[in-house]
Structure 1
Amino acid sequence: MQARWQPDPADHEATFLDGIRTAAKAAARIVFLQELTLSRYLADERPANEPNALAEQLPGGPTHVFAAKAAAETRVTVHASVFEKADGADGPDGLGYNTAILVAPDGTLLARTRKLHIPKTAGYYEDHYFRPGPAAANPYPVIDYNDPLISDPYGRVLVSAPRDRDAVLIADLDLDQRRDWLDRLPLLATRRPDSYAALTQSD
């Protein structure tokens, strides 16, 4: 689901909740909400103050609480995204994490993934807000793409959203297709980590 940001938090949450209900009525089992779900995209400009002050605790912050309530009401799993506060030894530089979460209908935080690749360019000053997430041993894979769409493992776009209005996209996904794709293109089995060191070297 995609929705324009609304400055009134209650209106913003109501829009998402309505979309989650719509998807649930269409028999969705999981609903994906947009990046930085309950806030505007703040990295379009440099921060005026310490950015971590704008971040949320996880678990227990507003986005997690909203996702848990929505999941409980609709009985679907909810994916959301949050500017996660980095505390203690992880937080001396004032940066947080851009974190994706999965919340079950019973409120369980099933998984979280902290964004690894942080854009650094005009209009995307994410490096002024977010630190790169650690490479977890069992990551919850999230692929960030600007245009809202649903595709299958073969890269075919099943449905896409307009860019000028709120939208709820619904599609049936065959999870066995991923296994088939990996069998046809065994890229993971043919990786060459011995050749990756050069990628970390600056020119």
Structure 2
Amino acid sequence: MSPGSEYNLYTAIGDELMDSPARVNEPETTPLRISLIQASWEGSKEAQIQSLTRAVEIASEFEPDLIVFQELTLYPYACSVPNFDGSDFKPEGLISGESHDFAVRMAKLSNAHILISLYEEADEEGELGFNTALIVSPKGEVVTRTRKTHIPQSAGYYENTYFAPGDDGAPTALIGEATVGAPTCWDQWFPELARIYALNESDVLVYPTAIGSEVNHPNFDTQPQWQSVMVGHAIANGIFIAAANRVGTEGDNTFYGSSFIVDPYGRIVLKAGRDEHAVLVADLDLDQRTDWLTLFPFFKGRRPHMYGELVADIELAAEEI
């Protein structure tokens, strides 16, 4: 795959939509049409913007309600080393920066909501910034902001030297008839957060993502585990989950793409390849959430009074796990 590669298109819309095997009633809600953009870093912000604009033009032909970009959309993934200092990796204002402006342009171009991920500047001078997902409406208005809650700190992913953990909780945006949450990447691995979103009646979780090879274990491919944990979240919470990953090699990291959408039954609706630029467009049958949770009513059997240890401040050393 070379910079400027064309985008491959994958769709699951209209008659391509999978039936709900546990259908309770005839569908009552309008499906959410979502598009994921899987792309690489093109070497400069100018080239990145040009490439992603082309992807949005492709997606726009299908009139999506929401277009989702990868994590750190207009940036290289500099976090493969600690404390990188480069002109293309600087924090920016939430609504005064280039990422916000690009999202507004793409929202107006596509007449869709746009989810963009950015390196947000710190609240106070001298502090760490934030890894932030921003959703902009078709009119260019900010709908919601979600700062990444969990920050990785491992070889090849030294995000703790750039980003502070966010404390936004689980904010959502109403897009059409869908309640959408936007946690980011490493948040994918935490079932507690997915459950909180589900308890807040989210229909869809979208994760802008940047994940790939493991520097200290180059022969270990974590893509199956990455996908499986989100499939589990979808089933256990009766929600749709969509992850937009990046591709290409940056520094020591080779990102494995495989962007996908999974339904509440755990079925993969669409999935991109590991090393391609791709545009995914799918209709999400929101009534599947009701169908699945009627058959398997997980929330009715919860016993919150027994879950105190989940929120206890317990630190375990790696050798204790």
Interval containing the TM-score (normalised by the shorter chain): 0.7 to 0.9
Report how far residue 177 of structure 1 moved.
1.9
2:94 matched to 1:58? yes
Give the TM-score normalised by the residue count of structure 2.
0.56
Distance 1:75 1:118 in 2: 33
Partner of 2:216: none
Report how far residue 101 of structure 1 moved.
1.1
Structure 2 residue runs without a partner (length 5+): 1-36, 173-180, 189-206, 212-257, 317-321
Distance 2:305 2:119 in 1: 32
Partner of 2:315: 202
Partner of 1:161: 272
Report how far residue 107 of structure 1 moved.
0.6
User: Secondary structure of the residue that 1:170 maps to in structure 2?
Assistant: strand
Partner of 2:58: 22
2:304 matched to 1:192? yes
After superposition, the Cα gap between the structure-2 partners of 1:121 and 1:191, relative to the gap in structure 1 and judged at 3 Å, is farther
Distance 1:8 1:119 in 2: 25
The Cα offsets for residues 147-189 of structure 1, whole Å up to 9 and x where unpaired, read as: 3111212221111111212111111111222333344444445
1:23-102 map, 5 Å: 23-48=59-84, 54-88=90-124, 91-92=125-126, 94-102=127-135
Distance 2:78 2:55 in 1: 23
Distance 2:132 2:80 in 1: 18
Report how far residue 30 of structure 1 moved.
1.1
Identity of aligned residues (%): 36
The answer to whether the 8 Å contact 2:63/2:111 transfers is: no
Distance 2:285 2:314 in 1: 40
**How many corresponding residue pairs?**
198
Shift >6 Å, 4+ stretches: none
Partner of 2:154: 121
Structure 1 residue runs without a partner (length 5+): none
After superposition, the Cα gap between the structure-2 partners of 1:39 and 1:159, relative to the gap in structure 1 and judged at 3 Å, is same
Distance 1:60 1:44 in 2: 27
- Structure with the bigger percentage of strand: 2
Partner of 2:287: 176
After superposition, the Cα gap between the structure-2 partners of 1:107 and 1:123, relative to the gap in structure 1 and judged at 3 Å, is same
Residue type matched to 1:14 in 2?
Answer: Q
Partner of 2:141: 108
User: Secondary structure of the residue that 1:54 maps to in structure 2?
Assistant: coil
User: Secondary structure of the residue that 2:118 maps to in structure 1?
Assistant: strand
Distance 1:193 1:12 in 2: 49
Report how far residue 193 of structure 1 moved.
5.7
After superposition, the Cα gap between the structure-2 partners of 1:104 and 1:7, relative to the gap in structure 1 and judged at 3 Å, is same
Distance 2:303 2:149 in 1: 20
After superposition, the Cα gap between the structure-2 partners of 1:64 and 1:183, relative to the gap in structure 1 and judged at 3 Å, is farther
After superposition, the Cα gap between the structure-2 partners of 1:20 and 1:193, relative to the gap in structure 1 and judged at 3 Å, is farther
After superposition, the Cα gap between the structure-2 partners of 1:188 and 1:46, relative to the gap in structure 1 and judged at 3 Å, is farther
After superposition, the Cα gap between the structure-2 partners of 1:128 and 1:106, relative to the gap in structure 1 and judged at 3 Å, is same
User: Secondary structure of the residue that 1:101 maps to in structure 2?
Assistant: strand
More relative contact order, 1 or 2 (CA 8 Å, 6+ apart) = 2
After superposition, the Cα gap between the structure-2 partners of 1:131 and 1:180, relative to the gap in structure 1 and judged at 3 Å, is farther
Report how far residue 70 of structure 1 moved.
0.9
Distance 1:82 1:193 in 2: 38
